[in-house]
Chains A and B, each alone.
Chain A
Amino acid sequence: MRQLIARRLLQTIPLLFFVSIACFALVKMAPGDPVLSFVTPNMHAEDIERIRHNLGLDKPAYVQYWLWLKELFQGNLGYSLVNHQPVMDQILDRLPATAGLMGSAILLAVLLAIPLGLTAGANRDRWPDKLVNLFSYIGISVPLFWLAILLIYLFAIHLHWLPSMGMRSIGVNSAMDVLKHGILPCVVLAFGFLSVYVRYIRSSTIGQLKEEYVQIQYAFGSTKKTIVFRHVMKHVLLPVITLLGMSMADLVAGAIVTETVFSWPGIGSLGMTAVKGMDYPVIMGITLFSALFLILGNLLADILYGLADPRIKGAR
Chain B
Amino acid sequence: MRKSWFTVLTLLVLALVVSACSGGNNNNGNTASPSASPTSSSASEPAASGEAKDGGNLIIAVGADPVILNPIYAGDRVSLTIDQALYAPLFQVNNGEKTFYLADSLEPSADNLTYTLKLKSGLTWHDGQPLTADDVVFTFEKILDESQNSMFRENLIIGGKPVQAVKVDDTTVEFKLPQVNPAFEATLVQLTPIPKHIFENEANIEKSTKNAAPVGSGAFKFKEYKTGEYVTLERFDNYFGGKAHLDSITYRIAKDTNAANLALQNGEINVKYLDPQDVATIESTGKFDIQAYSEGRLAYLLFNEKSDTGALAKKEVREAISYALNREELIQVVYGSADYADPAKSFVTPDGLFHTNDVTSYDNDAAKAKELLSSAGVSNLKLRFIISSGNKAQEAAGLYVQQKLKDIGVTVELQSMDASAYGQKFVDLNATDYELSYAGYIMGYDPDAYRILYQSDANSNYAKYKNEEVDKLFDQGAGEADPAKRGEIYKQLQEIIAQDAVIYPAAYTKTIVAIDKKYGGLDEAVLKPVVIFEDPSKLYLK
Q: Check B259–A165 contact: CB distance below 8 A.
A: yes
A290 contacts across to B, CB distance below 8 A: none
A264 contacts across to B, CB distance below 8 A: 228
In the complex, whether B154 has a CB less than 8 A from a CB of chain A is: yes
In the complex, whether B371 has a CB less than 8 A from a CB of chain A is: no
Q: Check B64–A84 contact: CB distance below 8 A.
A: no
B252 contacts across to A, CB distance below 8 A: 165-166, 170, 263
Query: Which among B9-17, B372-380, B521-529 touches the partner chain?
Result: B9-17
In the complex, whether A128 has a CB less than 8 A from a CB of chain B is: no
B452 contacts across to A, CB distance below 8 A: 41-42
Q: Check A164–B268 contact: CB distance below 8 A.
A: yes
Q: Check B21–A99 contact: CB distance below 8 A.
A: yes
Q: Check B10–A164 contact: CB distance below 8 A.
A: no
Total chain A interface residues with beta-carbon distance under 8 A: 74
In the complex, whether B57 has a CB less than 8 A from a CB of chain A is: yes
Q: Check A307–B24 contact: CB distance below 8 A.
A: no
Q: Check B68–A84 contact: CB distance below 8 A.
A: yes
The 8 A CB mask of B1-42 against A (1 = contact, 0 = none) is: 011011001100100010011111101100100011010000
Q: Check B228–A165 contact: CB distance below 8 A.
A: no
In the complex, whether B279 has a CB less than 8 A from a CB of chain A is: no
A296 contacts across to B, CB distance below 8 A: 13
Q: Check B228–A270 contact: CB distance below 8 A.
A: yes
Residue of B with least CB distance to A173: B36
In the complex, whether A216 has a CB less than 8 A from a CB of chain B is: no
Q: Check B9–A89 contact: CB distance below 8 A.
A: no
Could you say which of A1, A42, A260, A272 contacts B154, with CB atoms under 8 Å apart? A42
In the complex, whether B419 has a CB less than 8 A from a CB of chain A is: yes
Could you say which of B23, B31, B229 contacts A263, with CB atoms under 8 Å apart? B229
B501 to chain A: closest CB distance in Å?
22
Q: Check A171–B232 contact: CB distance below 8 A.
A: yes
Q: Check B232–A31 contact: CB distance below 8 A.
A: no
Given known A92-B20, A99-B17, A263-B229, contact A171–B224 (CB-CB < 8 A)? yes
Q: In the docked arrangement, what's the CA distance between A164 and B265, Å?
A: 10
A148 contacts across to B, CB distance below 8 A: 259
Total chain B interface residues with beta-carbon distance under 8 A: 71
Residues of B23-78 whose CB lies within 8 A of A? 23-25, 27-28, 31, 35-36, 38, 57, 59, 64-65, 67-68, 75
Q: Check A32–B424 contact: CB distance below 8 A.
A: yes
In the complex, whether B95 has a CB less than 8 A from a CB of chain A is: no
Q: Check A156–B147 contact: CB distance below 8 A.
A: no
In the complex, whether A168 has a CB less than 8 A from a CB of chain B is: yes
Residues of A263-284 whose CB lies within 8 A of B? 263-266, 269-270, 272-273, 276, 278
B84 contacts across to A, CB distance below 8 A: none
A261 contacts across to B, CB distance below 8 A: 255-256, 258-259
Q: Check B453–A157 contact: CB distance below 8 A.
A: no
Residues of B222-259 whose CB lies within 8 A of A? 224, 226-230, 232, 250, 252-256, 258-259
Q: Which of B27, B31, B57, B68 has the most CB of A within 10 A?
A: B27
Q: Check B151–A38 contact: CB distance below 8 A.
A: yes
Q: Check A93–B27 contact: CB distance below 8 A.
A: yes
**Inter-chain residue pair count (beta carbon < 8 A):** 186
Q: Check B24–A94 contact: CB distance below 8 A.
A: yes
Q: Check A149–B258 contact: CB distance below 8 A.
A: yes
Q: In the docked arrangement, what's the CA distance between A54 and B146, Å?
A: 9
Q: Check A41–B232 contact: CB distance below 8 A.
A: no
Q: In the docked arrangement, what's the CA distance between A265 and B254, Å?
A: 10
Q: Check A164–B263 contact: CB distance below 8 A.
A: yes
B300 to chain A: closest CB distance in Å?
14
B262 contacts across to A, CB distance below 8 A: 149, 152-153, 156-157, 164-165
B160 to chain A: closest CB distance in Å?
10
Residues of A89-139 whose CB lies within 8 A of B? 89-90, 92-97, 99-100
Q: In the docked arrangement, what's the CA distance between A304 and B239, Å?
A: 62
Q: Check A93–B266 contact: CB distance below 8 A.
A: no
B353 to chain A: closest CB distance in Å?
18
Q: In the docked arrangement, what's the CA distance between A97 and B67, Å?
A: 20
Given known A83-B67, A92-B23, A170-B59, contact A269–B228 (CB-CB < 8 A)? yes
A213 to chain B: closest CB distance in Å?
24
Q: Check B17–A36 contact: CB distance below 8 A.
A: no
B516 to chain A: closest CB distance in Å?
15
Q: Check B255–A260 contact: CB distance below 8 A.
A: yes
Q: In the docked arrangement, what's the CA distance between A96 and B227, Å?
A: 12
B254 contacts across to A, CB distance below 8 A: 165, 263
Query: Could you show 26 A-B contacts with beta carbons less than 8 Å apart?
Result: A1-B2, A36-B423, A39-B151, A42-B154, A42-B459, A42-B460, A44-B459, A45-B459, A47-B153, A47-B154, A82-B67, A95-B21, A96-B21, A149-B262, A156-B262, A163-B268, A170-B57, A170-B59, A171-B38, A261-B256, A261-B258, A263-B259, A265-B253, A269-B255, A272-B255, A273-B65
Question: What residues of chain A have their CB less than 8 Å away from a CB belonging to chain B?
Answer: 1-2, 5, 30-33, 36-45, 47, 50-51, 54, 79, 82-85, 89-90, 92-97, 99-100, 145, 148-149, 152-153, 156-157, 160, 163-168, 170-173, 251, 260-266, 269-270, 272-273, 276, 278, 296, 300, 303-304, 306-307
The 6 A-B pairs with the shortest beta carbon distances in the complex, nearest first, are: A265-B228, A32-B420, A31-B421, A171-B36, A41-B460, A92-B24
Further contacts, 9 of them, CB under 8 A, given A31-B424, A44-B459: A1-B6, A31-B420, A33-B420, A36-B427, A165-B259, A166-B230, A260-B256, A265-B228, A300-B13
